[in-house]
């Protein structure tokens, strides 16, 4: 991925920074769009994965909608040209302020996660003399077989409405004159690579749809969420997800009635491979049992390895050494958990070498913090431009 031209350019820049390959991003968006639109599926991009301005502009230009989980994400989506009729607002804890702003923006739909939330949205919509379109997020109790910190579809998770609450939900919908029920919403987890999980989700959605029909509630929208995982181990040879196989699972197993729309909310799968975190070696500490590469990037720039025990390929892209050494690759933050990986085999490294941490386009820049009063990480793009990473 990184040529000598890249390295020469990077050596002139202050590190750390996120490098975005906008060409790969565009190729990924095109592949996803072609696979989804062949079945007339609708795709909303999950802004929580990455809301870098240039990333949002590219995704909006590709024709995707926006899946938002905060009021500011709703604002960002609309500011970047996503039309309000393609914006959905999810999240287990929407504040009154956020709901009111979304009502004023006349977004497409609220994905509602509790009876209490339905009552609040109805009350706020009534005060504005508006009708709020609602999809009910149902907890399908489907195991995503992924890291327990990113599982969302089990009864033990805080997300969604459990099936035993559905009768109360329908009674609430009947009593709320300022709510329009349009569909159901599901999301079982993130970084899912086992396609059987999505097959099981389809079968569960089919069962629940029949139950809604029996209760006299017509469903227009089947929102099956996202969660499609990427290959963190082989970013070079497997730089894009198999979107064709993913969408075909739903085509083969999801029962779609005439007039229904199928919606997806993909985030990581669209952006993860498009960015790498570029850092420099500050110091090399050689010990009897451990060798440490201390970088100028740390958990403040990429927290996934510390938060999720996530794996990222780490490369020394500037060393010319033919000797290899095992290093613990760590950051400068005053926390023992500030470690990207242990026992990473790399070319013999020295102070000033450039290190690339791959597949960092999802949940990287957006989760960066100012802990230890760190400077905000910047962004560099495959076109010659450097901008401060901010909305």
Domain with 139 in it: what CATH number? 3.20.20.10
pLDDT tens profile 374-389: 999 999 999 644 444 4
Instruction: Convert 299-312 to b/e letters by CB count within 10 Å (16 or more is b).
Output: bbbbbbbbebebeb
The pTM score is 0.92
Same domain, yes or no: 218 and 315: no
- Give yes or no: residues 245 and 352 share one domain: no
Chain center to CA of 193: 15
Please tell me whether residues 299 and 156 are part of one structural domain: no
What is the reported pLDDT for 157?
A: 58
213: which 2 tokens?
Answer: 């029909």
Q: What does pLDDT average to over the chain?
A: 93
Q: Do 63 and 182 lie in a common domain?
A: yes
Q: Quickly tell me which residue has 């009897």 as its tokens.
A: 288
- The C-alpha atoms of residue 330 and residue 16 are separated, in whole angstroms, by 13
Residue 194 and residue 72 share a domain: yes
Task: Say which residue, 143 or 8, is predicted with more confidence.
Answer: 8
What pLDDT is stored for residue 351 in this prediction? 98
Which of 272, 291, 311 terminates a domain? The answer is 272
Verify that 116 and 152 share a domain, yes or no.
yes
The dihedrals phi and psi of 297, each to the nearest 5 degrees, come to -105, 150
Same domain, 87 and 213: yes
In this structure, are 122 and 179 located in the same domain?
A: yes
Phi, psi of 339 (to 5 degrees): -140, 125
Strands 65-68, 87-89: pairing kind: parallel
- Residue 31 CA, chain-centre distance (Å), reads 18
Residue 61: per-residue pLDDT = 97
In a shared domain, residues 10 and 149: no
- What per-residue confidence (pLDDT) applies to 159? 67
- What local confidence, expressed as pLDDT, does residue 141 receive? 75
What per-residue confidence (pLDDT) applies to 329? 98
User: Number of structural domains, the chain?
Assistant: 2
Percent of the chain with pLDDT over 70: 93
CA 136 vs CA 38, 96, 224, 279: distances in Å: 27, 18, 12, 43
Q: What percent of the chain has pLDDT over 90?
A: 89
pLDDT score for 149: 42
| 11-39: average pLDDT | 98
pLDDT for res 156: 55
> Does residue 70 sit in the same domain as residue 186?
yes
Question: How much is the average pLDDT of 166-187?
Answer: 96
> Which pLDDT value is given to residue 386?
41
pLDDT in tens, 334-378: 999 999 999 999 999 999 999 999 999 999 999 999 999 999 999
- Domain with 208, as residue range(s), is 22-272
CATH number at residue 285: 2.40.37.10
Q: In this predicted structure, what is the pLDDT of residue 34?
A: 98
End residue of a domain, out of 250, 272, 294: 272
233 with 161, same domain? yes
Please count the CA atoms within 13 angstroms of the CA of 262 that sit on its side-chain side. Answer: 23
Q: Write out pLDDT tens, residues 42-82.
A: 999 999 999 999 999 999 999 999 999 999 999 999 999 99
Q: How confident is the model at residue 142 (pLDDT cuts 50, 70, 90)?
A: confident
Average pLDDT for residues 133-156, to the nearest whole number? 65
pLDDT > 90? residue 113: yes
pLDDT at 147: 44
In this model, does residue 153 exceed pLDDT 50? no
Convert the pLDDT of each residue in 184-231 to its tens digit. 999 988 999 999 999 999 999 999 999 999 999 999 999 999 999 999
Query: Which of 240, 272, 304 is a domain's end point?
Result: 272
Domain shared by 237 and 324, yes or no:
no
């Amino acid at each position: 991925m990184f040529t000598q031209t890249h390295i020469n350019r990077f050596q002139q820049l202050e590190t750390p920074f996120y490098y975005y390959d906008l060409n790969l991003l565009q190729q990924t968006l095109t592949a996803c769009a072609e696979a989804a639109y062949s079945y007339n599926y609708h795709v909303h991009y999950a802004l929580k994965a990455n809301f870098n301005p240039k990333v949002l502009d590219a995704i909006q230009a590709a024709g995707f909608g926006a899946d938002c989980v905060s009021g500011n994400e709703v604002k960002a989506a609309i500011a970047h040209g996503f039309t309000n009729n393609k914006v959905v607002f999810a999240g287990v804890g929407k504040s009154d302020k956020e709901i009111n702003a979304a009502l004023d923006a006349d977004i497409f739909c609220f994905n509602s996660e509790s009876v209490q939330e339905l009552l609040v949205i109805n009350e706020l919509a009534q005060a504005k003399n508006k009708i709020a379109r609602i999809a009910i997020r149902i907890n399908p109790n489907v195991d995503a077989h992924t890291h327990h910190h990113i599982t969302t579809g089990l009864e033990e998770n805080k997300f969604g409405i459990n099936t035993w609450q559905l009768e109360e939900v329908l009674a609430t919908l009947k009593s709320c004159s300022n709510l329009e029920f349009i569909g159901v919403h599901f999301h079982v987890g993130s970084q899912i690579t086992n396609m059987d999980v999505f097959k099981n989700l389809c079968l569960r959605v089919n069962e629940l749809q029949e139950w809604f029909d029996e209760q006299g509630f017509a469903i227009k929208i089947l929102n099956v969420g996202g969660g499609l995982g990427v290959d963190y181990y082989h970013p070079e040879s497997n730089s894009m997800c198999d979107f064709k196989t993913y969408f075909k699972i739903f085509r083969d197993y999801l029962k779609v009635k005439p007039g229904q729309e199928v919606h997806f909310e993909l985030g990581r799968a669209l952006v993860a491979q498009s960015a790498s975190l570029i850092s420099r070696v500050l110091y090399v500490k050689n010990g009897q049992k451990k060798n440490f590469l201390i970088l100028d990037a740390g958990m403040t720039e990429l927290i996934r390895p510390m938060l999720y025990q996530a794996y990222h390929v780490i490369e020394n892209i500037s060393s010319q050494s033919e000797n290899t050494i095992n290093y613990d690759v760590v950051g400068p933050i005053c926390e023992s958990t500030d470690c990207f990986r242990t026992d990473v085999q790399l070319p013999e490294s020295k102070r000033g070498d450039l290190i690339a941490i791959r597949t960092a386009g999802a949940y990287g820049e957006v989760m960066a913090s100012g802990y230890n009063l760190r400077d905000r990480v910047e962004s560099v793009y495959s076109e010659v431009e450097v901008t401060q990473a901010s909305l």
